[in-house]
Amino acid sequence: MTGLFITLEGGDGAGKTTQASALEAWLIEQGRVVVRTREPGGTEFGVEVREIVLHSRGDISPRAEALLYAADRAHHIATKVRPALERDEIVVQDRYLDSSVAYQGAGRVLDAGEIRDLSLWAAEGLLPDLTVLLDLDEDRARERLDSANKRFDRLEAEKSDFHRRVRAAFLELAAAEPGRFLVVDASLPPDEIAAVILERVAPLL
């Protein structure tokens, strides 16, 4: 594959959508073809999975939740991401396997290694060329979510301890793979965050 695979990670309210939009716009200005996507929900199948895992009224057991995310990932990578990379396009993706390790591994207190292995199996071993981790204190993130007056999904509605574990897990993942991760302080102004990301992305083109 000759394309470029960039993922954005971080807790809810960290600003991933804002930065994905800014990065996509800049890449298009550079003349590159960009596929903007997300997990879950990057395909028609994924939209249905997203509705189940994030908005289902009933309880979902942690292992069932992890398997649903893995099913979405397997289909998404096979039908959308890999074909785009093979066409030498740039994939900018909101969430990937690191979210599963953080949310289902640390958040749901499952085995992080097993969750990572499951995700890698689903994605046939595909890892991003760059993962941008937007790091934000969980209390500040909750303030942002509250101010948005939006309907909380099942994960956003979890208590502070859950989100504290998720943040710690993300930082551990970044520390273990410094070559793949770029950690950015998500409390900075959006334009400053975008500048840091572009500085890291530009040499990869």
Give pLDDT, residue 139: 82
Question: Are residues 21 and 172 in contact, defined by beta-carbon separation less than 8 angstroms?
Answer: no
Handedness of CA 156, 78, 198, 171 (dihedral sign): positive
Closest CA to 170 of 134, 143, 196, 142: 134
- What's the topology of domain 4-204? Rossmann fold (3.40.50)
Q: What 3-state DSSP class applies to 41? A: coil
Element counts in the chain: helices (H) and strands (E): 9, 5
Give pLDDT, residue 1: 58
Give pLDDT, residue 127: 97
Structure tokens given for 115: 């969750």
CA distance 55 to 155: 9
Strand segments (E) across 42-192: 90-94, 130-135, 181-185
Least confident of 42-51, 137-146, 191-200: 137-146
pLDDT at residue 81 tops 90: yes
DSSP string, 150-204: ----TTTTS-HHHHHHHHHHHHHHHHH-TTTEEEEETTS-HHHHHHHHHHHHGGG
Structure tokens given for 22: 């800014």
CA distances from 37 to 109, 187, 188 (A): 27, 24, 24
User: What mean pLDDT do residues 16-29 have?
Assistant: 97
Instruction: Please state whether the predicted TM-score (pTM) of the whole model is above 0.75.
Output: yes
CA distance 190 to 205: 22
pLDDT at residue 149 tops 70: no
Q: Is there a cis peptide before residue 40, judged by omega within 30 degrees of 0? A: yes
Give pLDDT, residue 58: 78
Kindly report, residue by residue over 86-141, the tens digit of the pLDDT: 999 999 999 999 999 999 999 899 999 999 999 999 999 999 999 999 999 988 87
Burial of 139 (0-12, 13-18, 19+ CB in 10 A): exposed
Give pLDDT, residue 147: 75
- Residues paired with residue 184 on neighbouring β-strands, in sequence order: 134
Q: What percent of the chain has pLDDT over 70?
A: 95
Domain boundaries, the chain: 4-204
User: What mean pLDDT do residues 170-180 have?
Assistant: 97
User: What mean pLDDT do residues 79-92 have?
Assistant: 97
Choice between 174 and 109, residue whose per-residue pLDDT is larger: 174
| Of the ranges 19-23, 140-144, 158-162, the best mean pLDDT one | 19-23
Mean pLDDT computed over every residue of the chain: 93
User: What mean pLDDT do residues 23-41 have?
Assistant: 97
pLDDT at residue 45 tops 80: yes
